[in-house]
Structure 1
């Protein structure tokens, strides 16, 4: 039953997003914070997410990125492609299914040196069943999202 509900949910999202291009970086409706305000560098250096601090904010690709330290901000500035989540922080599983959904900074995976976010724990569980397949699909679909 859960798979049917998830399928219906994403079908509805697809229907609602048809013909609508998305911003390159996911931010919440009333916020301009990338990764929900979490420091993207901490996923790599601490192996867990940590909320960033306004004192170390940075504007990048139309979004505000927050960091826990000046050093993390510097690391990101020197190589944003390394630290930014794939698919602009949207749910990687949703992108693989040719739609968009928010990426939850607490539902994350580091895979082959890249950060992926998922919508929720159930979606993350499905994502983890076949990451290479979902990444291939998402890589193919991602350019269409930005059109």
Structure 2
């Protein structure tokens, strides 16, 4: 049953991944700002998706990160890899189920075993159908994490 659910989710993701959805962001924008300016530390500290303040920022590996507090900025500077999203911030389901890099909605996330996973969550621009990739992810998370990690090895080499 899990396989059928994930297969259906993959089909929906294929339909949506090419659309210009309104709430989706590229994990690293053209301005080199990560996750649409959301504070990556806040996901862990408050358990909420929190927009960062452009005045409180730092750069890591040529990417700009915004933070909602100076404390979050300092925590990131001390241990950046602890807070970085998996798969460079691309949709975790798409990486695992399709081996594709799909933009994400920064407000749709999950922390599992101390790691941040981000997901696609939007409406298709033409049909209006909604799809939240976190839902099928939760149905088979352990297997999808394993598959995503395997896929990311080769995907991360391609830029």
Structure-1-length-normalised TM-score:
0.81
TM alignment of 1:1-147, pairs within 5 A: 3=9, 5-6=11-12, 8-9=14-15, 26-28=27-29, 30-96=30-96, 97-120=98-121, 122-147=132-157
Q: Greater CA deviation, 120-129 or 42-51?
A: 120-129
Is the Cα–Cα contact under 8 Å of residues 92 and 138 in structure 1 kept in the other structure?
Answer: yes
Structure 2 unaligned blocks of 5 or more: 1-7, 19-25, 122-130
The Cα of 1:48 is off from its aligned counterpart by 0.3
The Cα of 1:111 is off from its aligned counterpart by 0.9
The Cα of 1:4 is off from its aligned counterpart by 7.4
Question: SS at the partner of 1:100?
Answer: coil
Is the Cα–Cα contact under 8 Å of residues 92 and 103 in structure 1 kept in the other structure?
Answer: no
The Cα of 1:9 is off from its aligned counterpart by 2.5
Structure 1 unaligned blocks of 5 or more: 14-24
Give the Cα–Cα distance (whole angstroms) in 2 for the partners of residues 132 and 140 of structure 1.
Answer: 13
The Cα of 1:144 is off from its aligned counterpart by 1.4
Structure-2-length-normalised TM-score:
0.75
> How many residues matched?
133
Off by >2 Å, runs of 4+ in structure 1: 2-5, 7-10
**Backbone CA RMSD of aligned residues:** 2.1
Is the Cα–Cα contact under 8 Å of residues 9 and 136 in structure 2 kept in the other structure?
Answer: no
